[in-house]
Amino acid sequence: MSPSADAASWPELPYAAWKDTCATLQLWTQVVGKVRLALTPWLNHSWHVTLYVTARGLATPPIAVGGRDLAIEFDFIDHVLWLRTSDGHFRQLMLRPVTVAEFYADVMVALSELGIAVRINEMPNEIPGAVRFSEDRVHASYDPEFTNRFFRVLLRSRDVFAHFRTAFLGKVSPVHFFWGSFDLAVTRFSGRKAPPHPGGVPGLPDDVAREAYSHEVSSAGFWPGGGPIDYPAFYSYAYPGPDGFAAAQVQPAEAFWSKDLGEFILPYDAVRKAADPDAALMAFLQSTYDAAADLAKWDRAALECKLGVPGKVRAV
């Protein structure tokens, strides 16, 4: 891949330059995500609430409602929110600088016009000090350029995460986007139960956290920044964290253990500037998983296989 192609695929994404848009967009995705949450039966580890990266942005899968199906998509190329139903009806909202309160109201009106009655919990999740969607007139930023850059990072990260996922035979999550924590993630499971999660996540019921971490995991993902890490980064953690995990030697050299977060961090810029960004990210995913699985004594021979190859059946 040429340097110019790398720059297009892995664009600069300085958190400070778009943090207001990032905060607003997180709340907008929560509105849409909570529609899926309200209409979908509970699935293990809250996998029923997530959004998925598409060729144009972030979207729900089809949601069954009243004999029809609904899909909602953030189009970060044309900057439109699409609400479509399986009987051919649709509504669209232009993505532009408006308050969370106005966005929430517009989404509810669009759903009503499509004949879909739904009520959602208006309190945001996993955001300290948050206010109800209908009362939030503070967050109202939308920068289309940086939103599109964020989308392009999600696209390329999803590609590497999805390839990494192919090397696991055990239970593994989809590559999906959690609107609560505003991150793209993929999670592997050892198959063993985990000790009860302590809870305490801001704006998240403890029973949700405990169900999400009911079993032992090695998880990795990407998020755009905020809190103790004010820059975009990839992360990897294990729950429960095995003894010695924080001291493990991982790759690439720019990766480090964050005491504040309790996980390994790889700054996004280290990937973006690497000679081979995909290989640098894959090295981080593999080496942090290796450390978690070895230290926790996972049955790796039973859980793993070679990375998938297009068009080639896995050898058994």
Last residue of a domain, one of 109, 135, 161: 135
In angstroms, the Cα distances linking 21 to 16, 99, 100, 137, 309 are: 10, 11, 11, 14, 38
28 lies in the same domain as 93: yes
pLDDT number for residue 5: 54
> What share of the chain in percent tops pLDDT 70?
98
User: Looking at the predicted structure, is the pLDDT value of residue 43 above 90?
Assistant: yes
Burial class (CB in 10 A: 0-12, 13-18, 19+), 221: buried
Number of folded domains in the chain? Answer: 2
- CB count, 10 Å around CB of 148? 15
Q: Give the mean model confidence (pLDDT) for residues 183-212.
A: 96
User: Looking at the predicted structure, is the pLDDT value of residue 2 above 80?
Assistant: no
155 lies in the same domain as 270: yes
User: Looking at the predicted structure, is the pLDDT value of residue 147 above 80?
Assistant: yes
pLDDT number for residue 57: 98
Please indicate, yes or no, whether the overall pTM of this predicted structure exceeds 0.75. yes
48 lies in the same domain as 84: yes
Which domain range does residue 221 map to? 150-303
Burial class (CB in 10 A: 0-12, 13-18, 19+), 189: buried
Q: What is the pLDDT of residues 216-257, one digit of tens each?
A: 999 999 999 988 899 999 999 999 999 999 999 999 999 999
Yes or no: say if 78 and 94 are a contact pair by the CB < 8 Å rule.
no
6-10, 18-22, 151-155, 181-185: least confidently modelled range: 6-10
pLDDT number for residue 303: 98
